[in-house]
Structure 1
Amino acid sequence: MDGVNTAETSSPSAEIYAKFFQGLANATRLRIVEALLTADMNVSQLVERLGVSQSQISNQLACLKWCGYVSSTQQGKFVVYRITDERVRQMIALAKQIVAENAQNIHSCTRM
């Protein structure tokens, strides 16, 4: 069967879910997603809003785009980024609720 593991292709593994969450495990990527939840933005707007270099923003956007968190469209001379799936908004809202309830434990955790 040309080397394809059918168990892997029939349903996602725990590793792919972990990798999905790693997409938001970087603070800059998370801040970009949170900013894009408020409005569609181009790289310059994200640089200004987040105070992060253009190259860092572009690099993190490439990751977010590749993994399906954001999409982009050309608007004149700018590329504008937006959240691809509104469920990301729900996921971030749920995460904020869980963190609020467990912030002290999360902050002091030495196992992560």
Structure 2
Amino acid sequence: MLTDTALRAPQLQAKLFRGLADPSRLAILEALRPGPLHVSAIVAATGLSQPNVSNHLRCLSECGLVRAETRGRFVHYQLGDERIDQLLRLADELLADTASGVRACGQYE
């Protein structure tokens, strides 16, 4: 018999991956992989608008995927957990082997 936790796991995983499915949020996470950045630096690194970055940072923060630290007048953001970097690295490795299939997939346009 499945426990409550086991029943929720696929739903929580799906929610996590929906959060990661947005190209803007992924661009922000990629920008933060080397280390903490303030909003202006994230804007410069991603090419996204400042309001867009701020909205996505709020979402990522609420989900625990990034965390904020105030340093003087600036708020610096960093990955909320080192395993996010590992997850993104594993995605890169997986795509190295499956990119043509992923590109051809019409299910997730």
Q: Which amino acid aligns with 1:29?
A: R
> In structure 1, what is the equivalent of residue 28 of structure 2?
32
Query: Secondary structure in 2 aligned to 1:38?
Result: coil
1:99 maps to which of 88, 95, 98: 95
User: Does residue 21 of structure 1 match 2:43?
Assistant: no
> Which structure 2 residues correspond to residues 49-64 of structure 1 after superposition, within 5 A?
49-64=45-60
Shift of 1:14: 1.2
Structure-1-length-normalised TM-score = 0.88
Shift of 1:48: 1.2
Structure showing greater radius of gyration is 1
> In structure 2, what is the equivalent of residue 81 of structure 1?
77
Shift of 1:39: 1.9
Q: How many residues align?
A: 105
Query: Secondary structure in 2 aligned to 1:111?
Result: coil
Query: Secondary structure in 2 aligned to 1:96?
Result: helix
Q: Which amino acid aligns with 1:54?
A: Q
Q: Percent identity?
A: 38
Q: Cα deviations across residues 10-58 of structure 1 (Å, max 9, x unaligned)?
A: 3433111101011110011001001101121011111111111100000
Q: Which amino acid aligns with 2:32?
A: L
> In structure 2, what is the equivalent of residue 3 of structure 1?
none
Unaligned runs of 5+ in 1: 1-5
Structure-2-length-normalised TM-score = 0.90
